[in-house]
Amino acid sequence: MRAALLLALLFLPACGPDFARISNELRDQNLKLERENATLKEQLANREASVRNLQSQINMMTPRVTTLPEDRLANLFTAGKLQIRTATNADDFDNDGTQDGFRIFIRTLTEDGDLLPATGTLKIEAFDLADKETRLGTWTFTPEQMKKNYYAGFGLNHFAFNCPWAKKPAHSDITIKAELVDALTNRTLTAQTVITAKLK
C-alpha cells in the first residue's frame, strides 16, 4: 500500500499544469501580437504619407485665391451688402399656368448702400420651412454667369436668375437665401427673404 502511494506521488507533478509550455505559448502569442501591431502601424504611416502626398498634389493643382490686403481694399469701393429685391417671386417660366420655380433679382451694394455691381460665386437656396423636407433646391452661378445676367438698362441695375424647383413646395411661404463670395475681396455676403408660391 505504501509502495503504491509513493508511486502515485512520484507521478503527481507530471499530471499538473505544464507551466513551461504555457509560458512559451504566451510568449509566442505576445510576439505575434507585437508583429501584427508593428505591421498595422506601418500601414497607417504609409496611408498618412499617401494622404499628405495627394493633398500636396491637390494644392499644387488648385489655384490660390488672392486678394488685396485689407488696408488697400479700404481705399476702394467694394461690395459690402447683398440685397434681394422685392420683385423676387415665384414664376411660371413656360406660361402653362403652373409656377415652375422663382425668379430672383439681386443687387450688390457698398457698405453705405450705394449700387456697385460685383460678381463672384453666387449660391441661391430655397426652403419650405413648414415641411419636413425643407430644401426645395440649390442653384449656383459663376462670376461669368453673373456678368451675363446683369441688367443695367432702364434703371434696373440688378442680377436676375431663374431658379426652377428641384422639389415642388407643399406650402406657400418659401424662404429664399442668397450667398455671394465676392471675386475681388473674397468676402461672403448674405441676404434672405420670403416669397409666396401658388400651390397647384
Domain spans of the chain? 2-61, 71-196
Q: From CA 169, how far away is CA 191, in angstroms rounded?
A: 21
Q: What is the mean pLDDT of residues 129-155?
A: 91
CATH class of the domain comprising 71-196: mainly beta
Question: Tell me, what's the pLDDT at 122?
Answer: 97
Q: Which position has the higher pLDDT, 170 or 14? A: 170
Distance of CA 3 to the CA centre of its chain: 86
Residue whose C-alpha cell reads 415665384 in the numeric block: 90
Q: Which position has the higher pLDDT, 32 or 3? A: 32
Residue 44: pLDDT band (50, 70, 90) is confident
C-alpha separations of 56 from 15, 45, 50 in Å: 65, 16, 10
**Whole-prediction pTM:** 0.64
- Most confident of the following: 17-21, 36-40, 192-196: 192-196
Q: How far apart are the first and last CA of the chain?
A: 107
Query: CB of 198 within 8 A of CB of 90?
Result: yes
